[in-house]
Every structure is written in structure tokens, then in C-alpha cells.
A = this chain, B = another copy of it.
Amino acid sequence: MIELTPFLNKTVRTPLYIQLYQYIKKEIEEGGISPGTLLPSIRYLSRHLHISKNTVESAYQQLTAEGYTESKPRSGIKVLPLEKPLVPSGHFTYPERQKREEEPARRYDFQYGDIDLDHFPFKTWKKCLQDAMNSDSPELFLYGDRQGDKGLRAELAKYLFQARGVRCSLEQIVVCSGTQSAVSLLCQLLPSNGRVVAAENPGYDGVHSVFLNHGYTIRPIGLEADGIDLSQLAESRAKLAYITPSHQFPYGMVLPIQKRLKLLKWADQNDAYIIEDDYDSEFRYQGQPIPSLKALDTKENVIYLGTFSKCFLPAARLSYIVLPERLTEQFCERFGRYSQSSSPMIQRAMYLFMKEGFFERHIRKMKKVYQEKHQTLISAIEKHFGHEVNIIGEKAGLHILMEVRRDIKDLISKAEKHDVKVYPVSDFWIDPHESPSSIVMVGFGGLSEQDIEEGVKRLYQAWFA
């Protein structure tokens, strides 16, 4: 019989049975105990090591459960032959590639897309995640509903109705893992029609990418002071338009009601679909909230896109489509064999978060927080720059644009030397060469009011001092 004399440390935090298990496992793997031998009996080993019978049994069970040993009742515990690892041994190091040098993090990073983490309800969200995990509904641990958690869709329907005026059934809602996933699905769903899409120019480059990668041709539509140029849209002969009516990205204007109606008329008369990307409509700091385009859509031409990335948590990777009714059946047919791409666990947590009213509260709170940051940013710019810059953007959203009569590359690199990061806007133009040379994007969601103040001050020093 083999002898086991592992060193068991009672003072350490790891349980005794794990220590024993690890020791035997190591012995087996390193050949100290060869396959076919019987392990010492439970009783013997417990006496030998002065520990409880159950402790030894637990360790043996673990080994057996993982296939190292085999338990033969009333005869002993046999060590099984090891399934040889494919690679004999040696410490693994993956091939190091020459890294693209990473950009150093800047202290004052006006990155658009960052959210305020100081006011995020981590406790509550963690609790919701916990509660979701504690549910015993098995579908929470399998693939989950193809269109998304039913409870979550019900909460979304309620929310969309109350906050955005969108009235829809559960069947019209499709949960996705981000706006880009949503657009990718739409690219696969919509009638090809020559694969042409009209899009605001400038507009959200992330979505442009998706269209291009799906073989679409983008017809750039210029902007007027109050939003998309409808005559250009009419001339485009596109049957599909991607638009941000509530808060144009990146300029920030709000499409007035007259234009909205004309837009809907255009869609109806041309048998076209409009994709309405309502990415940050939650945050308006002045005036009444404006209902969504989808709320006015009687002819079922608008496809509504919403997301939790701005108003809640980007890391949840949750967004949703509201399909026109006439597309739901087609959707089921085409995606019948697709599985949902966002995690059922996170969807359920989000459902709980909404159901308990935390989401509504959170929106209210963040509205206030961002409003103050917005105000701080504007005031700081006016204070430091006076009339040397022009601020572009409505009183809404999580970013503004700054127009400075300087070359943009110079502005950005000078800012970086002062530990401040602002961003170019050229990517938002479908042809980047057309982009203005003197506008930078300033996102303020992720910075504290102090940092905003200090960041703007440094910007001035970097550019004008």
C-alpha cells in the first residue's frame, strides 16, 4: 500500500479536505501514485493524519467526481489512468506579438461613452444580479428566450410607452447585445432593395461600419440647422434611412415635429423603413421631452432602437429593437434558429431592476447629475474661453462639440501634453475628408464636476497660453 503524508495546515484558510485533495491530485498527475493502485482506505488515512473520516471522504469524492479515481464500494478507491494532456508539459507561454503601443490613459479624458460611475447604484444592481442567480428557473441558465426575457420585454413595453410614447406588444420587442448587434440583425432582416441606406452625415460611425460590413452602400444625407435635409433624403431614392431624431449624433439638434411628420410621409410614400436610433433621449436638460418618431408612426414604417448603454450601464451590453408589427413574423422566420446573444442572467437582473422601480429612479437621478455636469462644462468653457470657442449642441445628451479656430490634430496633441483628452469628429463623416477641421468632441459623462472644471482649464492653457 502506498503511503500518503501530505502536509496539512490547519492554520491556513483553505479547508483541510481541499488540501488533501490537491495533494493527492498533484501526486497522481506527477506520477507519484501510479494508475491502478488503491488509495489508502478512508479509515486508515483518517487515523494516520489525525483528521476526521468525513474529511478524507470529501477529498476522495472530489477526486472521484473529477475522474482521477474510481470508487469501488467495499473494495477500495482505485487510481485511474491519467488522460495525458496533449502537450507533454512545460510552462505555457503564449506567443507574444509585437504590441501596438497602447495609448496612455489621460487624467482628464473627455471620452464620449463613459458614464458616471460615482452615482451608479452598484449595491442595488449587485442585489438584482444575485436575485436573478437565485431564481430556480432553469431557462435562466440555458439559452433563454430568442427575443429576450419575457419579463424584461414587458417592463420595456411599459417604459417605452410612458417615457417615449411607443406602444408595442411583447412580440415586437427584440433584446440585443448592443446597438450594433441590433443593426446587424436588421441588415440581415430587411429586404435587400439594392442594399442602400440613407444616413445622416455626419452620424454615428459605429452603425455606419455595420452597414458597410453587411455590404450596404451608404447615401450620405446632409444636415440643416434643425436636422436632416429632407430634400436630399428624397433625392437619395433609398428605401431605408438610419436617423437619430431625438438628439442628432453628433451635432445634437432635435428634429422638430413638422420635419418628423414629413419624414414619416416620405417613408410611407416610398415604402421605406426608418431606423430611429434613440440612444440618449433620456437626458434632456431643458424643455419638455419630445415623443419619439416611433410614437407618431401610424403606418408601421419606423424601426425603433433603444439601449441601456447610455442611461444605465454599457457593460450590461443590452439594447432593444421595436419592430413594426408587419416585420415580426418575418423576424421569427428568419431568425428562428438564432439564439439570443445577450446573457439571460443579465436580462433577468435588468428585469428585476426595472420591476422594482430602481430604473425609473436611476434615470431621474442621473438626469440631474448629468444636467449639473453639463452646466459645469458650459460654464467652465465660457469662463475660460470667453468667445474664443463656439459650443455646439442642445441642452441634452452626454457630449458637446467645441469649435475652435485651430487645426484639430494640433488641438488634440497639445491637450494630451496637458493630460487632457478630447476627440476628433472626422470619423462621423461618411467621407472623413469632408469633416470640418476645427471641431472636437467633448464627452462629459465619465468625469466629475471638479475634473470637468480642471480639464477645461487645462484645455485653455494647452491651446491659448
Contact = CB atoms under 8 A, between A and B. Distances in A.
Given A67-B368, A339-B178, A168 B94 contact: yes
Given A158-B94, A169-B95, A65 B338 contact: no
A397 interface: no
Interface in A116-158: 117, 120, 122, 125-126, 129-130, 133, 138, 140-144, 154, 157-158
Contacts of A446: 138, 142
A74 interface: no
Contacts of A125: 133
Contacts of A92: 157-158, 161-162
A182 to B, nearest CB: 10
Contacts of A96: 169
A116 B302 CA distance: 42
B140 A315 contact: yes
Contact of A339 (B122, B167, B206): B206
B288 A94 contact: no
A111 to B, nearest CB: 9
Interface stretch (A81-89, A375-383, A407-415): A81-89
A283 to B, nearest CB: 12
Contact of A313 (B64, B141, B341): B141
Contacts of A130: 126, 130
A355 interface: no
Contacts of A317: 177, 340-344
Which interface class (under 10, 10 to 19, 20 to 34, 35 or more) fits A? 35 or more
Contacts of A165: 86-87
Contact of A365 (B65, B120, B206, B316): B65
Given A83-B288, A141-B117, A206 B337 contact: yes
Interface in A208-237: 208-210, 213-215
A83 B117 contact: no
A209 B342 contact: no
A244 interface: no
A84 B165 CA distance: 12
Given A67-B364, A180-B339, A361-B66, A142 B113 contact: yes
A228 B18 CA distance: 45
B365 A163 contact: no
A188 B214 contact: yes
Contacts of A142: 113-115, 314-315, 446
Contact of A314 (B113, B141, B169): B141
A126 B65 CA distance: 21
Nearest to A215: B215
A184 B84 CA distance: 35
A133 B126 contact: yes
Interface in A314-362: 314-317, 325, 334-346, 361
A162 B341 contact: no
Contacts of A404: none
A164 interface: yes
Nearest to A68: B364
Nearest to A111: B142
Contacts of A114: 138, 142
Nearest to A284: B83
Given A113-B142, A345-B315, A365 B161 contact: no
Given A94-B157, A314-B339, 8 more contacts: A65-B368, A86-B291, A87-B162, A96-B169, A114-B142, A188-B214, A205-B337, A315-B344
14 contacts: A66-B361, A68-B364, A85-B163, A86-B162, A92-B158, A94-B168, A95-B169, A115-B142, A188-B214, A205-B337, A206-B339, A214-B214, A317-B343, A342-B343
